[in-house]
Structure 1
Amino acid sequence: MNKKFSTLLAGVALLGAMSANAGNPVTSLQKTGNGLYQLKAADGVLAMTPEGALKLEATTESANLASTLWCVEVTEEGYGKAPIFDFTNKATGQRLDIQYAGTLLEGLAEKTPSYTDVETANDSTRVGGEISGWAYLNQYTSIPAAEQAGKTLYSYFKADSVIGLVADGTNIQVKKLGAADAYKDAATGTELTRFILQEADMIRLQAPEINTILGLQAADKGVALTFTPDEQGEKVAVANPFNGKNAGKFLAEAISGDNDYVFVLTADSSYLRVDTAIVNESGERFRAFKWSDLSYAKRQASTAATKPTSAADSISRVADLSDQYKFAFSYYPSKDSLVIQVKSAMDYDPKTATNGSDWVADAAATVLPTAAGVKGENNFVTVQDLIKDKVRIVTIYDKKETDISLGYKGCEAVYNGRTSVEDGLYFIMNQKGQYLASPIHVNGGEATWVTVKADEQLTAHMPAYQWVVLKKNTADKVKAYSPVTITNREFATELSATAQLMLNEGAKYMYTTAATGINIEATDSLIFVQVKDAEGVKGNAALIAEAYQDSLLGYKNIPDAKFLLDEYTFKYLHPYATGENSKYLAKGAGKDSLLNVLNGKDAFRLIEDEIADYGYTVTADVAKRVGIKQLRRTEYAISLKDTYMDEAKENKYAMSAYADPIDYFFLKENNHYEGECYYAIVKANSDAISNVKAGVTDDILDATVKVQPLGETRTSAFAINPDKTPLYRRFNNANLGEADGRDTLRFYENVRHEYLMDENNKEGGLTDEFVNYVGMWTADKATGLAFQIDTTWVVRGRGYIKPQYLISVAHNDFAGIEGTPCTEDGPHITPDGQITDDPMACKHAHPAIPGFERAKYMVSFQDSVAVYGQDKPYADVAGGYTRVGFVEGIRVADTLWILPAQYRSVANDKVNFATLQAYNDSVVAKGLPAIKNLLTEDVHKNYVWSFRYVHPEKANNVTEEGPENSFLFESNIWPNSATTVNESIAPTEKAAWLKIQNGCVVLTDDKSTFANAKTGGDGALVFNVENKENDQLATDNETITTSEVTVIAGNGNVQVVGAEGKKVVITNILGQTVANTVITSDNATIAAPQGVVVVAVEGEEAVKAIVK
């Protein structure tokens, strides 16, 4: 070497040719502006993950170096107190602070190590909280040797109590201690972990860390290093290639199989090498640098027999010079000092050095520095003077005579891209608009990017496309860039991850460190959109409510599936089968039991199995933070008559009467088309989805439904809708002139066309002296055929499924009487002797009497049979069938009072409901039938009636009365009466229907079934109705009361009571007068012909009577 260069940088403190201070304890600190240090425990150095988790790294490498480096700030307390230390992680920019409030630490016992919350048990304690400022060293400007050996870290959460850091393998826990105990333990580390503040070991930087400057920038921004001193004066052909001022910023490229060296290149694919030429012609010669164009175009222009496939391939073909393209970057983080060496720099022959030829292998091989203490030797990138104080170049030399800085120092507030999102329910999309989801064919096995067509799917209904996102750190100081937990709403156990979201300045899309638990790559561009703010959802209050508050979201859950006919159609979703051309799930014709979607359309019953929670577990905290409910889903068996959907041969689905066990299915929403939800039929297995689903095969002409693997990408879907066929007749068909409320109808059975009426067949022995029965005969045998019907339970409960009606005759309704106050001057006295100013409360006042309906009501005598036995008068014969009859009663709102015999003569304005209540209490206490009966609830009753359709599938579109809307009278059964709503609505048994037995209208017994009754089996009667204007109500033919006058039909005569002095005219049904007389007594008997006659008493309404 030319001696004039040997003292170029004499006195400048240079690093790199030695391992000075690497890994050694720090001996002094300033308050701020210190270097980057490590906190070393026995099992590794303290590091922080991008998500804020504290870890111990046993080995420091290029990839994790930044996370192990800490800035140290010191705050003097004064008054002889120890200083306070704060540590900021260089990689994350986040302080070492711990959240106490709202964590497990609040209830933690002393000397018990713990994580701050349950979630972090596998992820160590996370930073981000209100506790910071750590007790550590007693001195800092000159750290005593004893303290250089390490001390514990603890911080006060109240005056006499601290929390400190404890190593748990490679994780970090927190322990509570009394302040005095922590102070005593600081040097020994018995309770807490001791940490040594040390300078970081030298690290060989890899290409990713060089390009990002250890995470400070994006990898494509380029790197410019700082040389002290740098080149000076006139520049050589290839000036300093590393400072970014000549060829621009450089990039590093990894070399396959080599962890020490990298290629150095520019953005235009020019690769740096040490040249074979020299810079100067006199004195000691120095090597120059050269850029080689190794771009794709240049490689394609190669004349070699085989064109280079890459820049590395091109370099490998340069004989003897390939190592001159390879540079090692050895970094001393605590000093921000970089040592760059080339792997090889061939020396020259001095005799011919002017032309750059005759190079020989350098005997002085490159020796790289190591963390173990090996000194770096030879082939350094450095500076040298060519003309003292005038010309200085960057070259390769065996001695390093410049400091090179990466610019990685301090922990100043530099935007590092960390960001966060608010707690909420999200869609996660990428820049292509795809949704991160786990669709049916994946079923929680992974998350994948799915293209969604807005007119075919409604992701607001699909929990597998939704993510619950929660901040890990909620303290004010750190929540803006808190890591988040991202959990799939349906597959919470399978798909969950914690990630630090990142957002470059001015960028639209976020990104994150690879979240392997949910298959998000570091290269994915992300958009987080709250479901309530998403396109198509925002502003739609109903849809938002469904997405957040519908606990049955995602699956078909049918309220009252057992009641509304229990039958549903399955419309198949297919682009060539829409509108009038829609195809439906159906069983094959005749004996073909296979299911298809070809030409048929069957209505299936859905048999509920059980409902169970699924998906994300919504705690009270989550409900408050996100506003969602716990999801639930129901399994169903799919039934057609007495068969069930079951797996058959050749992996096809069929309807089988021999399914054992019965298969159950989830109906999972997969599509949404033209306002309808479409569901996949996926087999259930113990509250979980099994590995198969029902799929339509479009590849063969019979369109059969197959047992497909769940993993099949294509999923068949069906719109599942009620068959809309009512089970019971509700008299509100506008086509028939019907409306809810009171109406007057005739009921006729549709075989002999005989009518329900008041039973008057004495000769047949069908009547009773004390009990009025319902009878059936031809029209000419009754004085009136109409019955008044009135709704009692139609729009409440499940009355819309099973309407209930009162049926009555002989109305004597009471309009009520207004109350009148006392007319005397006050003060007034109440009935109990108290003085009052209210004249209405006075004992002389007449309280108002409310109105009510009073009539004879058609009832089943089942309750009487239950008390008095299955015999006359409440059964047709001993051990026979229960009869149906009329009882006098009063209806007040939802209560029907059945009047006892001694109370039937009481005038309306004398009715006392307190007396009736007392009577009711007395008979109930004796085990006798109650007279007070509630008209509410869905269960069967003995005093209301429902009208069960015989052909429900035909009844919905009826435009005229006929067989299509015929019905059975349905009532309670004894002794096996229905006790639940399920048993009472559309029962196959545990119900009774009107029938004829021994000429009497009775109820079928407990052996009857609906299937038998609706076909007329067991004598059951099938009815229709007539509605005639101004029709005459059916009456009790024995005694007809008109006001104070009573008309009694007898054998060949009519007895008129209470009409003395009044004119009486009797006519037959032809209008001919058969009697016209003035009654001269209070009880007159007038001869009349047999048959129906009309009796008109002066001043009273005419009534019909049947003369025997």
Structure 2
Amino acid sequence: MIMNKRFSTLLAAALVAGGLSANVMAADIVTTDLKDGQFIHLSTATGGTTYLTMDAKGDFSTVVASSWSGNIDKLLGSLWQVKLIPHTTQAGTTYTYSLTNRLSGQLLSVKLQSDVDGGGRSENITANEKGGNTEWAYASGNALYAIKGDTVFTIGIGSNVLTFGATEDTSAPSNTSLYMGAVSTAAVTLKASDFNALVKANAGRLFFTDENVSSTEKNVLTANKWEAVDAKMTDGAYASGGTDVLFLTNGKEYKNRMNNAMTAADQTQKEYLLVDYNFYDPSKEFNVLKADTIAVEPTSDAVSNFDKRTVIAKHHPATAAFTVTYYIPNDSMVIAPAYVQTSIPVATTLKAMHTALPTNGKVTAVETAVNALEAAVASFYTTYDGTPTSMPAKGDKFAEADFATTGGAWQASSSESTITGEELIEAVKTAIKGITYSTTAATEKLEKAYVAKVNAYLSALNGLEIADLATTGGQAANYAKVSTSAIKDGANYADGLNSLTVNAVTSKQVVIRKLSNTKVLTIGGDPAVVANGNLVATIKTSDKDATIGGDATIAEGLYYVIDAMKEDDGAENKYYGLYFDESPVNAANYVAKAQAFNPYAQFVVTKAAGVDKGNYAIENRATANAKWQGVTNVVDKDNKIYTIGNDTIQLVAADDVDEDNAYIGFKYITANDAKNNKFTITSAAEMLAGQTIVMVKDSSLKIAEGEMLFTLTPSEETEYGVNEDLINVSYTIYNDADSTYLVKDDASDNYRFIHESNIAPSAITKFYMIAVDTDSTYVLADGLDDATKMVISTQYKTISAKDLDERNDMFIVKPQAAPASYKSLPKHVRIQAINGDYAAVNAKNQGIAVREGDLKADAYDNLDFIFWLDTAHYENAAPYTYYITKGVKETEEVAASRLYMWNSYDSAKVKDANKELPYVYGAGANRVMFRTASIMAQDTLLVPTMDAAAKIDTVSIAAKPAGSADGLKHNVKAGVKNFQFSFEFASKDADNEYNIVCQNNNGKNYVHNINGVLAMGPKEDAVVVNVLNVTPEDEAATGNETINAEGVKVIAANGGVQIIGAQGKKVVITNILGQTVANTVLSSDNATIAAPQGVVVVAIEGEEAVKAIVK
């Protein structure tokens, strides 16, 4: 261990004039001399003085070496603690190194990744890279490097950055921009900012290693939390020669008499560490250290007031002046006093006690007697005839002295009418005995308080005598020194009327001293000098030894974080016990309890690369801000309380969070739900419950009774968060009643409704709905950074745009069903145009529009006008889409295939035998056809080809070749959306009026009625239809599909499927989403298997699959 130097040597070394001393330079380190836990610099040159630094956040910079006084934060940022990582080889043990920054606690971490051809980076590295490489090799002149595969990665020091290199090699490349350098052994004289930076991590606490006081004694240094105040006494009797000194306060405050007249007790005094005038030993060598008030606050009073203020003080301010020096190699400090007090006040300070007598409750008779007594006491200290011979002599006692019966003056001659001091005291006691206290309780209380103070004053006069004379000849202008029964050794005591005196002290520092069998905290000579007899007691800013990293072992994962700092800057921490929250609309950044719905109140804990414990990053799950990072130590293992950075925190496992839900923290409405619902937005406040957003005459907004429906249109989803596994969405808010958008109006800097015709789409405000307090109450904000939010005036109920850090008003957003397209479970329907035409299928399987009277025509059957809506996309769909097939008679037994409505867009160029285009009508409109097909899966059909080969095509969303990654053994063609149709509202005011829309979205995907022919075209002039339920008679003519193959039959039933003739065969039933609802081998020839209501697919071993509609 490097011992602390003598104080005088330290102070001189720290005040080198004219710049740097030679030992500030970082001498190159021989790696064989490196020790585990040693602090080093990383310098830019051999013997260099420019060092790589890291700030508390992990950003890199460089600093030029100095005496470091006033720059301790830069010094700490330039210190790197080395951990030696041994590797056993045939040649012996070699080492790699990890480097932990003293200021940030972070391991030096760089990702071994290049982004330019040939290796390297296009940009220098400006900040520590979380999750990077933390284990480095080093050889002087080779910088820090790491070998990965056949590539050597190097880092060097640039201008405030790290440089990065990568070459294909297996040996260390030459790099002369980074060297390991030894730290200076010179002491650093600390300024207040330096001291405070050093003790910040442990909230101002100091710690002792090696030794401490006995358990029966109190160590004032470790029992308090300290903050330093700079001071420099440059003139007067107490000047320190211009040396910077520190005053260390524990933050405790009192109200005392500090004004010039010393009358009103309205000035703030703090407690400071000081050298007391009491001693531990009879020889008066070892002073007591204590915390107490001093005569002059170091930052507020001028030197010229020292004499005046120390008249009524117990401690001279200079006794609280210390020089603090810091030793870099062992991260410790020495605290040395500047002065010790040479005169000690009477404990009661008699003049001050009389001045402090209360004015409220005083009793006149007692006051008169006390004033006469005080005049006599004052005259006992001084002379009135101007000659020393008429002064009281040394040893004269106040009680026996004679005083004038008028004026209270001390008398040199007994020829005058006199009264003794004892008689004056008795007169006061007699006056007290004669008091008749007030019958009013409050007044009586004041009178008794006054009497108690008077009695204390009388007690203080016990044994008052002249201890020494201030002068021995000539005019006596000074006061005498006195003693009392409480203070026997009068030679060193001021009487409370004289200024206190001090002497400068050198070559002493705060030490632990063993006296008899007790170890005490005192001041003494350098403990490194054996002759001094003082014990080595290193003063540190942490109770942890200088080890690599911390001692915490934390399971990585998701946590809530509680503020476990009981104090903040010496005061009670009002946020103690609350949960951290970094929500953009929470200015306090705390919440009262864990919030599983709020990612801003959740934190991801990860271990630093290259360590097995003690160094962690704690990042906000939503903001990805590494709020804490670096060395982590245990405070309370059982309750998961740790110190990291400058904070004490408690971790609570976030086991209640659904980590698979990426949408927490914000209102999430799918595009489908947004399209198929309108929404109410109402106040969540109890007094405003149910009130919604309305516009008043001046276009401003307020909350009012009534119901307003809004259309919310979501933006594109945005990934965010520490792992980019969260998603948020913003919304435009459209008022359907008057076709207006809710916007943030730049002109008024407030919210307004603006008609859709008066605003460009790009100017429409998008609102985030941020969950606050609960998962269903939201703050409406127009952004997440540098934005505003909706706030309601509690008095006027008006809505204003306020900054995100203002108070919150929450809203409730609820959907009201308003489907944007026709929604139905599978069923039979008729489709009728609003002009009266019915959709039908002719003999050529073409879609046509026929008048109602044609139903009786011989050319058409009733089934030609009935269609089966077979669900393609139903749940959470926008729009709801269907396969539309021709109806089938209930009595018919059919195969799984049917005639499916089809947009013949992909067959437009096909010609028939007459070289005509059968799938085109008129001027290029693709016909609506009905084509044989069967469902293989929700988005896949089996469609027979129309050529001579009569093959079966698999038609799905996208084309896939045979042998593709999913193991297909045949080609899959695209185009299934040509078979999928929706019924979308023709207008927002329409009721059961729809356009028929094909889902291929090619711009001509709306069904038109062109002279009775159903063909495809644009939205304009698309046919408008009603979807009609069929009559019971019609329903009876149609039915479910059945299988009737060699005796095997499937019949849909209520709540299940009846299967006949399949005993011993395996049956699999799936719903329309492909989810298996039954998988069994039948043990009966007539079995009924339960199945959910709706469309199911039944697959029987050896048979083709068929659909059934379970009722």
CA contact (8 A) 2:124 2:162 kept: no
Code of the aligned partner of 2:810: S
CA distance in 2, matches of 1:16, 1:326: 15
Matched, 1:656 2:630: no
Distance of aligned partners of 1:725 and 1:502 in 2 relative to their CA distance in 1, 3 Å threshold: same
- Contact preservation (8 Å) 1:691, 1:710: yes
Deviations 1:467-498 (A, max 9, x none): 45544x411xx3412252x54444458x7664
Q: Partner of 2:613 in structure 1? A: 480
* 2:879 corresponds to: 801
**TM alignment of 1:539-578, pairs within 5 A:** 543-546=658-661, 550=662, 552-556=663-667, 558-561=669-672, 564-565=675-676, 567-576=678-687
Q: Compare CA radii of gyration and give the structure with the larger one.
A: 1
Tell me the amino acid that sits aligned with residue 725 of structure 2.
K
Shift of 1:633: 3.5
Corresponding position of 1:774: 850
Which SS does the other structure have where 2:757 is aligned?
coil
SS in 2 for 1:250: coil
The answer to whether the 8 Å contact 1:342/1:381 transfers is: no
CA contact (8 A) 2:870 2:884 kept: yes
Query: The residue matched to 1:356 in structure 2 has which SS?
Result: helix
1:671 and 2:771 are equivalent in the alignment? yes
Taking the aligned partners of 1:128 and 1:312, their CA distance within structure 2 comes to 63
Paired residue for 1:201, among 175, 186, 207? 186
- How far apart are residue 545 of structure 1 and its match? 0.6
Q: Which residue is 2:585 aligned to?
A: 441
Aligned partners of 1:313 and 1:119: how far apart in 2? 62
State the distance in 1 between where 2:40 and 2:650 align.
Answer: 36
Alignment of 1:973-984 (within 5 A): 979-980=1000-1001
The structural deviation recorded for 1:656 is: 1.3
Aligned to 1:121: 126
Q: Distance in 1 between matches of 2:78 and 2:941?
A: 80
Q: Which residue of 2 aligns with 1:970?
A: 996
Q: For the Cα contact (< 8 Å) 2:789–2:801, is it kept in 1?
A: yes
Mapped partners of 2:86, 2:931: distance in 1: 95
CA distance in 2: counterparts of 1:121 and 1:427, whole angstroms: 30
Written as runs of structure 1 = structure 2, the 5 A alignment for 1:203-242 is 203-204=188-189, 220=205, 223=208
CA distance in 1 between partners of 2:251 and 2:805 (Å):
47
- Report the equivalent of 1:1047: none
SS of equivalent to 1:714: coil
Partner of residue 1064, structure 1: none
Give the conservation status (yes or no) of the 8 Å contact 2:131–2:609: no
* Change over 3 Å in CA distance of 1:273–1:1002 after alignment to 2: closer
Residue 391 of structure 2 aligns with which residue?
none
| Matched ranges for 1:570-719 at <5 A | 570-576=681-687, 582-585=690-693, 597-607=703-713, 610-614=716-720, 616=722, 618=723, 629=725, 631=727, 633-634=729-730, 636=732, 638=734, 640=736, 642-646=739-743, 651-662=750-761, 663-671=763-771, 677-683=776-782, 691-700=787-796, 705-719=799-813
SS of the equivalent of 2:759 reads coil
The CA deviation at 1:294 is 3.9
Given that 1:585 and 1:601 are in contact with CA atoms closer than 8 Å, whether structure 2 keeps it comes out as no
What is the letter of the counterpart of residue 656 of structure 1?
A: H
**In the alignment, residue 1027 of structure 1 is paired with which amino acid?**
T
* Counterpart mapping for 1:816-965 below 5 A: 851=895, 890-893=932-935, 914-915=949-950
Residues 222-264 of structure 1 deviation map (CA, whole Å, 9 limit, x = unaligned): 65886xxxxxxxxxxxxxxx95577432318545525535569
Q: Could you list the runs of 5+ residues in structure 2 that have no partner in the other structure?
A: 15-20, 233-243, 254-270, 345-467, 473-480, 482-487, 565-575, 956-971, 1039-1111
Structure 1 match to 2:368: none
Residue identity in the other structure for 2:1006: A
- Give the conservation status (yes or no) of the 8 Å contact 2:673–2:876: no
What pairs with 1:689-768 in structure 2 (closer than 5 Å)?
691-700=787-796, 705-721=799-815, 723-732=816-825, 740-741=826-827, 743=828
Q: Check 1:403–1:68 CA distance in 2 against 1; reply closer, same or farther (3 A cut).
A: farther
Aligned 8 A contact 2:789 2:804 in 1: yes
Instruction: Give the 3 Å change call, closer, same or farther, for CA 266–794 of structure 1 in structure 2.
Output: closer
Deviations 1:149-178 (A, max 9, x none): xx9987997999999996546777788999
Identity %: 13
Q: Deviations over 1:558-596 (max 9, x none)?
A: 443498446444354333566xxx4455678xx998766
- In the TM superposition, what is the alpha-carbon distance from 1:429 to its structure 2 partner? 2.8
Q: How far, CA to CA, are the matches of 2:514 and 2:897 in structure 1?
A: 121
| Alpha carbons 1:153, 1:195 under 8 Å: kept | no
SS in 2 for 1:464: helix
| 8 A contact 1:562–1:606 mirrored in 2 | no
Q: 2:231 aligns with which of 235, 253, 257?
A: 257
- Pair 1:323-2:323 in alignment: no
Query: Contact between 2:820 and 2:878, CA under 8 Å: does it hold in 1?
Result: no
How many correspondences in the alignment?
783
Query: 1:912-935: CA deviations, max 9, x gaps?
Result: 9834889x9xxxxxxxxxxxxx99
Partner of 2:287: 289
Q: Which residue of 2 aligns with 1:991?
A: 1006
> Is the CA contact (8 Å cut-off) linking 1:747 and 1:755 kept in structure 2?
yes
CA distance in 1, matches of 2:107, 2:882: 69
Contact (CA 8 Å) 1:776, 1:1001: kept in 2 or not? no
Q: 1:1023 to 1:487 in 2, by over 3 A?
A: closer
Q: Distance in 1 between matches of 2:923 and 2:39?
A: 100
Match of 2:634 in 1: 503
- The amino acid of 1:914's aligned partner reads A
| Inter-CA distance 572–953: structure 2 relative to 1 (3 Å threshold) | farther
- CA distance in structure 2 between the aligned counterparts of 1:652 and 1:716, rounded to whole angstroms: 16
Change (3 A) 1:867 1:313: farther
Change (3 A) 1:177 1:94: farther
Instruction: Work out whether 1:527 is the aligned partner of 2:650.
Output: yes
1:343 aligns with 2:343: no
List per-residue Cα deviations over 1:167-216 (Å, max 9, x = no partner): 54677778899999999x9xxx9665474575x11344679999999899
Matches of 2:170 and 2:908, distance apart in 1: 87
**Matching residue of 1:1027:** 1031
Distance of 1:1004 and 1:109 partners within structure 2: 57
Paired residues of 1:727 and 1:948 also in contact (CA < 8 A): yes
Q: Please show how residues 1053-1072 of structure 1 align to structure 2 within 5 Å.
A: none
Q: State the Cα deviation string for residues 428-461 of structure 1 (Å, max 9, x = none).
A: 332445333333436xxxx74222566xxxx444
Which position in structure 2 is the counterpart of 1:536?
656
Instruction: Please report how far the alpha carbon of residue 291 of structure 1 lies from its aligned counterpart in structure 2 after TM superposition.
Output: 6.6
Task: Give the whole-Å Cα distance in 1 for the aligned partners of 2:898 and 2:209.
Answer: 102
TM (norm. structure 2) is 0.52
1:420-439 equivalences under 5 Å are 421=554, 424-431=557-564, 432-439=576-583
RMSD over aligned CA atoms reads 7.3
Distance in 2 between residues matched to 1:868 and 1:127, nearest whole Å: 65
Change (3 A) 1:564 1:586: same
Shift of 1:407: 3.5
Q: CA deviation at 1:395?
A: 7.9
Residues 86/365 of structure 1: CA separation in 2 closer, same or farther (3 Å cut): farther
Give the secondary structure class of the aligned counterpart of 2:788: strand
Amino acid corresponding to residue 682 of structure 1 in structure 2: A
- Secondary structure class of the residue paired with 2:1033: coil
- Whole-Å Cα distance in 2 between the matches of residues 866 and 74 of structure 1? 77
Secondary structure at 1:712 match in 2: coil
- What is the CA–CA distance in structure 2 between the aligned matches of 1:710 and 1:992, rounded to whole Å? 49
Equivalent residue of 2:704, what SS?
coil
What SS does the aligned partner of 2:660 have?
A: helix
Kept in 2, the 8 Å contact 1:272–1:325? The answer is yes
Alignment partners' CA distance in 2, 1:294 and 1:655:
68
**1-side partners of 2:82 and 2:1018: how far apart?**
89
- Which secondary structure state, in structure 1, belongs to the residue aligned with residue 852 of structure 2? strand
Contact 1:746 1:1027 in 2 (8 A): no
Partner of 1:841: none
